[in-house]
């Protein structure tokens, strides 16, 4: 007897994602989870360059700026740092000029990724939307400012569909051949009203389904269903009972890999992971790392070299040539 519903890998998508081709992830913090594992497997990945963006309107707003090439000076400050209401607090600086330059640099890099053929993976988290009372404009993050500065509402289905439609249009204007993968974050937002979380996730599901029906080259990946129908157990949630645990994320990533990687890509990813895991627990000097047997995967697969050098930088190591 079978006592669980196992979600099977998607059919017809094998080989979509390969090493050396750029990947851009935008959306909720679940994008960070999947993006971290893609980076560990030495894919050429840019993960939430504006920090986590939880609702579709915030994603649309940054993509409009990406297309236009300029940001908006919607800044606030706290504890000696400046932040923008158009991005997560990861985008911060000591002065407004530095923040403006950082934002414009990130906008340019993101545009180059999309124009360069990046696969775009968008994870929607919620329809909950905050806006500034002062100008009525939506914000991507409240940056722990007083609640009275913001209004809060939930996006309706029509708004969500229209927002996704414009997101797809912008990406396709920058790259008509762009492939998009849409998903709904399994992160729970029960808050004071668990029913509101159910409504929010339902709207996101319906909106993504509608957009995928309208456009070629869009794919839905069932991260939400894998978490809630396949794993379906609090053992796979973190201590806060909202975020997926590391084991839960790893299982979802396994299904993602089986859906979008070819067999050679999966084997290369496994070899790359052995190298990055050793780097995470290194005791050797950078000079000694070059002699590791695991380094053979980089020498024999030049398509992962750039991702490897970035990984070294993330570990505060100098590049190895």
Q: What is the side-by-side order of every strand in the sheet holding 150-154?
A: 138-139, 128-132, 150-154
Q: Which of 56, 83, 65, 46 is nearest to 307 (CA)?
A: 46
Mean local confidence (pLDDT), 124-133: 96
Mean pLDDT of the region 63-80: 91
Measured CA to CA, the distance from residue 249 to residue 165 in angstroms comes to 28
Least confident of 91-100, 236-245, 299-308: 236-245
Q: How far apart are CA 40 and CA 280, in angstroms?
A: 10
Tell me how far apart the alpha carbons of residues 45 and 169 are, in angstroms, rounded to a whole number.
Answer: 22
Distance CA 169, CA 224 (A): 25
Residue 207: is it exposed, middle or buried by C-beta count within 10 angstroms (0-12/13-18/19+)? buried
Average pLDDT taken over every residue of the chain: 92
Distance CA 183, CA 127 (A): 14
Count of alpha carbons within 13 Å of 264, Cβ hemisphere only? 5
Contact 197, 190 (CB under 8 A): yes
Is the CB of residue 55 less than 8 Å from the CB of residue 126? Answer: yes
Q: With left for phi above 0 and alpha for psi between -120 and 50, is residue 218 left, alpha or beta?
A: beta
Residue owning tokens 């007083």: 146
Dihedral, CA atoms, 266, 270, 273, 274, nearest 10 degrees? -170
Contact 184, 123 (CB under 8 A): yes
Residue pointed to by tokens 């963006």: 53
pLDDT at 282 over 70: no
**Contact call for residues 71 and 103 (beta carbons, < 8 A):** yes
pLDDT digits (tens, 9 = 90+) for 14-46: 999 999 999 999 999 889 999 999 999 999 999
Asked whether residue 115 carries a pLDDT value surpassing 90, the answer given is yes
Q: Is 112 exposed, middle or buried (0-12, 13-18, 19+ CB in 10 A)?
A: middle
pLDDT at 102: 95
CA–CA distance, 273 with 156 (Å, rounded to integer) = 41
Q: Quick check: 212 pLDDT over 70?
A: yes
Q: What is the pTM of this model?
A: 0.93
Tally of CB atoms within 10 A around 83: 23
């Amino acid at each position: 007897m079978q006592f669980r519903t196992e979600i099977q890998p998607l059919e017809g998508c094998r080989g979509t994602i390969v090493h050396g081709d750029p990947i851009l992830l935008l959306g909720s913090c679940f994008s960070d989870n999947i993006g971290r594992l893609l980076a560990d497997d030495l894919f050429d990945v840019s993960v939430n360059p504006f920090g986590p963006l939880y609702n579709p309107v915030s994603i649309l707003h940054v993509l409009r700026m990406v297309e236009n090439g300029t940001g908006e000076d919607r800044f606030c400050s706290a504890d000696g740092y400046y932040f923008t209401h158009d991005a997560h607090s990861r985008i911060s600086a000591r002065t407004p000029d530095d923040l403006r330059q950082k934002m414009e640099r990130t906008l340019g890099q993101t545009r180059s990724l999309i124009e360069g053929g990046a696969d775009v993976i968008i994870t929607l988290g919620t329809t909950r939307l905050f806006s500034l009372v002062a100008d009525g404009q939506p914000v991507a993050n409240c940056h722990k400012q007083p609640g009275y500065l913001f209004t809060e509402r939930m996006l309706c289905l029509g708004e969500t569909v229209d927002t996704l439609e414009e997101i797809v249009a912008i990406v396709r204007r920058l790259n008509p051949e762009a492939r998009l993968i849409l998903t709904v974050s399994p992160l729970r937002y029960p808050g004071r009203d668990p029913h509101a979380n159910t409504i929010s996730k339902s709207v996101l599901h319906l909106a993504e389904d509608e957009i995928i029906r309208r456009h070629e080259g869009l794919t839905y990946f069932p991260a939400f269903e894998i978490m809630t129908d396949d794993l379906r157990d609090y053992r796979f949630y973190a201590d806060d009972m909202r975020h997926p645990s590391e084991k839960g994320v790893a299982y979802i990533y396994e299904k993602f890999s089986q859906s979008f990687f070819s067999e050679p890509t999966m084997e290369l990813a496994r070899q790359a992971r052995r190298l990055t895991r050793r780097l995470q627990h290194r005791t050797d000097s950078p000079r000694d790392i070059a002699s590791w047997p695991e380094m053979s995967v980089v020498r024999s697969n030049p398509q992962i070299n750039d991702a490897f050098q970035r990984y070294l930088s993330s570990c505060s190591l100098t590049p190895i040539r």
